[in-house]
Amino acid sequence: MLKTGKPLRWRRLSSAGDDRHLLIPLDHSVSDGPVAPPGQWEGLLKALVAGGADGIIVHKGRARALTPDVLKGCALVVHLSASTACSSDVDAKVLVGDVEEAVALGADAVSVHVNIGSDTEGRQLSDLGAVARSCDTWGMPLIAMVYPRGPRIENPHDPALLAHIVNVAADLGADMVKTSVALPIDRMAEVVAHSPIPVLAAGGPPDGSDLIEYGTAVMAAGCRGLAVGRRIFSSPSPATLVSRLAAVVHGGAGVTDGMSMTTPSPYSTIVAGVA
């Protein structure tokens, strides 16, 4: 039974069944502060589901509070890492949950955050490896959120560095990796070409530029999907924005809009944000 668990859960991470993914991280309430007032939380989730999100990412406590039918066809990813903006080292992520808890919560996947170049990189890599071992035991897909962050990183958008990072995630047992976007964005194709596992592009342009064009560009570069949080849950109409992004992810908008991996993107000079 456990041997079939991972493929069954993996299938639920793509509502269209095309192995493309639009994930909405909502774990910001630990790192930065409230995502939505308690009375609006369920309404936000319903809007994300109605818009066509493939999955939401939350911490275990928030997962326990979910109304059983609120997600319907939307997958649940339980995030196992945490730190806060008040910490003396915001790049130092620690494990605050485990795979067994995620199984009990009915999760379809778990995620772990690692900051390459941080002062605590070694411990974070060790945690990723340990979680990967538990995921294999329990048949749980593992999403590694791996970013170049810390005092040793000169250019977090360097394609060669990001190609290294996605391979770290793969080699330590992740099934999918979420990471920053290379700049210029068309060079994200180089990162994807060197990755043994699917790559999710994190976040969007922090300068307020068009998120749909941004998503189109990263999908055209070969990413398997998007993980966008703040730009969605702070939107006046999350359902509408999710619906438009879902069309980009699942509708092949990166091709039909005339972009290719060799066509310069309108976002070739922006700085990619974090979900």
Of the two residues 262 and 157, the one the predictor is more confident about is: 157
Annotated catalytic, 147? yes
Compute the Cα dihedral for 244, 248, 251, 255 and give only its sign. Answer: positive
Of the two residues 45 and 259, the one the predictor is more confident about is: 45
Q: Which residues contact 210 (CB under 8 A, 6 or more apart)?
A: none
Active-site hit among 6, 178, 186, 214 = 178
Q: Would you tell me how many other CB atoms lie within 10 Å of the CB of residue 197? A: 18
Band the pLDDT of 72: cuts 50, 70, 90.
confident
Task: Give pLDDT tens digits for 232-266.
Answer: 998 999 999 999 999 999 985 433 333 332 233 33
Active-site hit among 93, 127, 147, 158 = 147
Q: Across the chain, what does the average pLDDT equal?
A: 90
Annotated catalytic, 267? no
The answer to whether 180 and 152 have CB atoms below 8 angstroms apart is no
Active-site hit among 6, 27, 54, 93 = 27
Q: What percent of the chain has pLDDT over 70?
A: 89
CA 146/CA 64 separation, integer angstroms: 26
> In a 3-state reduction of DSSP, which class is residue 168?
helix
